[in-house]
Structure 1
């Protein structure tokens, strides 16, 4: 006599089949995305409209000032060209007092992964310290992530100066920032509206009598 399949058995099979893709991964890896609370924060930024502002400010920052500085091999000290670039970054950052920034540290592929992560983080902290010396509040700057050797600009196993770098990016807004726009933010938003309005697009004219459409 065949035994009936219980609801518990069916549920267990369905559960195992749903989890097969994550079976060999850490618990929560499918939702963490690299940092606790990141998905929730991303949803908040999207729904409040801040995500687009952050993206647009990031593009403007990268277009108007050098966002990258480079380093000598196995060093975290700033040379004169790096200090010049960072002074330009600081002047730009001072124009947006409610915006936060993150500095990412990178290395070339020479050396162990753990050493390079430590070196990349030291480079990021060096940049943050210099920006602070230029009058930027430390509360607006983060040097918490180091990509080490994992994101090279030039794929090579040897020494490559362009891979030994830090990159400064807009990361968000300070908590409790005023919701009203000051003059600088208003100008930024106005420029965005003008740009979007002047982008080429198709105009469709509907002729109700003929029942056809014409594109111009």
Structure 2
């Protein structure tokens, strides 16, 4: 993030933080952000395992599950029933429930605020607190509510204001400590991890995100590093990555419930993807228990239902294949 962009982001966050003083405790339309992001190269097609594909195919937009994805490879929004999920390029997801099915409407008004939907852009204006949350096709925008404010730039650089003060995080995570914010990588041999920037020939293995306004810490582990194609057994590099993540969160999770959720792309049937997501989440959970004795885990699957990017391209599908570890700070 350059100086001018950072100054603009800081100004926006300060303005947003000022607006927070007018927020009320009662919420008619609720927003719950959580971090999910990933990277990789292979597709989790179920056809190689004999499962039925047809409920969803490469490029499907989730309509098989009553879900409409308005996403690019970087972000956008997803509509499902009465909920609209803002999806940001740094992994943050923000969910609004407008209380009634959205359908094909592009403007929804209720007693709380106004939601406007256009292509891959969504804007929420809260009439009571006078705050605004937005996302565009670059996965950039703002998230503002009573607990804090986030500004996400098109390159993924993030500025946020919450109970822990102002934080700046570069697009590669190098401006934040791994235990707070940042990306981490595995080397070309799959034997070492590094934080902030990859070694020669290395690739992204995951991302820590605590720049969330609901006081959540999230660690997204990329399935294409953790597992071989269509498998749920950790690779040697995957074992290393989970162990590295465990060492970072070990002191922070004592006495807390930790969620481990498996996610897939939309290739293959919805049922198969739910099963694959659960098997992969369980594999990560098993490794975590050996690394953090006594850790309290809640393991589940979201399958293909919480995309982080478009399922219409391989780059987007790769971002959807991930296992997320999260807990309240």
TM-score by length of structure 2 reads 0.32
Structure whose residues are more often helix by fraction: 1
Structure whose residues are more often strand by fraction: 2
TM-score by length of structure 1 reads 0.46
